[in-house]
Amino acid sequence: MRIIVGVAGGIAAYKACHLVRNFKETGDEVRVIPTPSALNFVGAATFEALSGNPVNTSVFEGVDEVQHVRLGQEADAIVIAPATADLLARLAAGRADDLLSATVLVATCPVILSPAMHTEMWLNPATQANVELLRSRGMTVLEPASGRLTGVDSGPGRLPEPEQIADLARMVVAGGALPRDMVGRSLLVTAGGTQENLDPVRYLGNRSSGRQGFALAEVAAQRGARVRLIAGVTDALPVPAGVRVERVTSTAEMAAAVERHRAEADAIVMAAAVSDFRPARAAESKLKKGRDEGSLTAVPLVENPDILRATVLARERGEVPRGTVIAGFAAETGDAERSALEHGLAKLERKGCDLLMCNEVGVGKVFGERRNRGWLLRARPGESAAVEEVADASKHEVARAYLDALGAVTRPLQV
Ligand code: CTP
């Protein structure tokens, strides 16, 4: 892909260096176009060395090539990070007073803007109106993250991590601008694996990285949803912008967190790889070879609660609103009797939820990987389930398809 990384003049400009690296590492051809004021924060030499391409800021450099026209026409994507309030205003007004804005005006490829500024500037009606206008013209304007800004301030306005911007940008290039179709909706998502203590140093766990659940939460928040993420044990993943995260370790903690928040969500998506069993008793001190031989060679296990099934049953009892959509994942392997898909269809029925994504799992397949594939199974009352195949794609693209399918679920509010 030919990517233009635009950089506007804000303190977060230093993070653009990592964004350029991220695209270069996946083999993309990168051209950096800073605004003149961005060069107050990061020098042109840095961007030239990282991208391997010359860096200009004005249409009056390299005039013989008519740079803005060539760059705009040839780009497969333009990703601007950080986008300042001033740049958003200039783009909304259709101005072309530097190389970056002139190039955007020429381009017909996807444009992804990642704003970063002080909270007051972000929330200012002028900025919000510019964001609305740019979105209505088909550009993707990402929600900023919340957290520490320059100095001691904290609030929405932080630039998301470069890896998050790159993942979302690639998803937009593959599937088009991100719709804001989840505004006003509230989503509860579980992600990651659960761990069950055997003693203070050992545990039973699984290989889940949490990537698919984090991608779901991130894409839903970028589509405008209010998202709460109950995260079990995961790889070191950055918190998605606009998502409230609650950390848990064991299945019992995850079950309790879901129970606390389940009534406030319009949809609940359980992407967590929940440990089905736990040691019947967790030792209070470390089990020792000589002393506790028996406890180490045979560990009696007891079954954990099924959080998904319990939530469906709570909905049947009316403890969860009847209109709440409940969805999950099915990690399956084929065996002598049934294919992975057949196991998934049986699980959809057994669990009684509305949507299930069936993935074929195994060592090196899905868990910890950045890509996913499978089938989206949607329950239909009185009919067999609708099956939609999801081809191999990034976990963000899969998240997008999953949320589309979730939006297609309609539930009667009264039974
Ligand atoms: N799940 C859950 N609580 C459990 C086990 C699973 O909420 N104790 C949820 C998962 O988050 C997922 C779905 O149920 O959305 C299916 O998980 P999976 O591990 O595939 O299924 P299991 O119910 O464990 O069935 P089995 O191991 O028999 O295939």
For ligand 1, is residue 274 a contact (CB within 6 Å)?
yes
Q: Is the model's pLDDT at 97 over the cut of 80?
A: yes
50 lines ligand 1 (CB under 6 A): no
Give the pLDDT confidence of 372-382 residue by residue, as tens digits.
999 999 999 88
The distance from CA 20 to its chain's CA centroid, rounded to whole angstroms, is 20
Query: What percent of the chain is predicted at pLDDT more than 90?
Result: 86
For ligand 1, atom 6, name the residue with the nearest CA: 274
Of residues 383, 56, 403, the one with CA closest to residue 225 = 403
Nearest-atom number in ligand 1 for the CA of 272 is 11
**Does residue 206 carry a catalytic annotation?**
yes
Look at residue 414 in the predicted model and tell me its pLDDT. 46
* pLDDT 10s digits, 198-255: 999 999 999 899 999 999 999 999 999 999 999 999 999 999 999 999 999 999 999 9
More confident residue, 156 or 64: 156
* Cβ neighbours, 10 Å, residue 165: 26
Catalytic residue among 130, 206, 304, 359: 206
Contact 42, 7 (CB under 8 A): yes
H helices present in 196-306, as ranges: 211-222, 251-261, 293-297
Verify whether ligand 1 is closer than 6 Å to residue 403 (CB atom): no
What's the pLDDT tens digit per position in 147-206? 776 666 678 999 999 999 999 999 999 999 999 999 999 999 999 999 999 999 999 999
Q: How far apart are CA 205 and CA 304, in angstroms?
A: 13
Q: Where are the alpha helices (DSSP H) in 199-268?
A: 211-222, 251-261
Is residue 228 a contact partner of residue 243, using CB atoms and an 8 Å limit?
yes
Instruction: Please list the alpha-helical segments (H only) found in 75-124.
Output: 85-92, 99-106, 119-123
Instruction: Give phi and psi for 86, each to the nearest 5.
Output: -65, -45
Check pocket membership of 270 for ligand 1, CB cut-off 6 A. yes
Q: For position 152, what pLDDT does the model report?
A: 67
The answer to the question of whether 306 is labelled as a binding residue is yes
DSSP string, 144-187: PEEEE-STT-EEEEEPPPHHHHHHHHHHHHHH-SPP-TTTT-EE
Q: How far is the centre of ligand 1, averaged over its atoms, from the C-alpha of 306 (Å)?
A: 7
Per-residue pLDDT, 331: 87
**Burial classification of residue 280, based on how many CB atoms lie within 10 Å of its CB (0-12 exposed, 13-18 middle, 19 or more buried):** exposed
Distance 355 CA to ligand 1 centre (A): 13
- Cα dihedral 77, 82, 88, 90 in deg (nearest 10): -80
Q: Which atom of ligand 1 is nearest to the CA of 308?
A: 7
SS3 of 64-81: the string is HHCHHHHHHHHCCEEEEE
pLDDT at 314 over 80: yes
Region 90-101: mean pLDDT is 97
Position in ligand 1 atom list of the atom nearest CA 307:
7
Q: What three-state secondary structure class fits 194?
A: coil
Is any ligand 1 atom within 6 A of the Cβ of residue 258?
A: no
Is residue 141 lining ligand 1, measured as CB closer than 6 Å?
A: no
Provide the pLDDT for residue 415: 42
Work out the mean pLDDT of the chain and round it to a whole number: 94
**Rounded distance, CA 86 to CA 104, Å?**
15
Tell me the pLDDT tens digit for each residue of 266-297. Answer: 999 999 999 999 999 999 999 988 888 777 78
The answer on pLDDT for 399 being more than 90 is: yes
Higher pLDDT, 129 or 292: 129
Q: Is the pLDDT of residue 348 over 80?
A: yes
By CB neighbour count within 10 A (0-12 exposed, 13-18 middle, 19+ buried), where does 377 fall?
A: buried
**Among all chains, which residue has been given the structure tokens 């989206």?**
376
Residue 80: pLDDT over 50: yes
Q: What is the distance in angstroms between the CA of the first residue and the CA of the last residue of the chain?
A: 51
Q: How many residues does the chain have?
A: 415
308 appears as a binding residue in the annotation: yes
Q: How does DSSP classify residue 14?
A: G
Look up the pTM and report it: 0.95
Q: What integer pLDDT is reported at residue 105 of this predicted model?
A: 97
Mutate which of 250, 259, 274 for ligand 1? The one with the most ligand atoms within 8 Å of its CB, which is 274
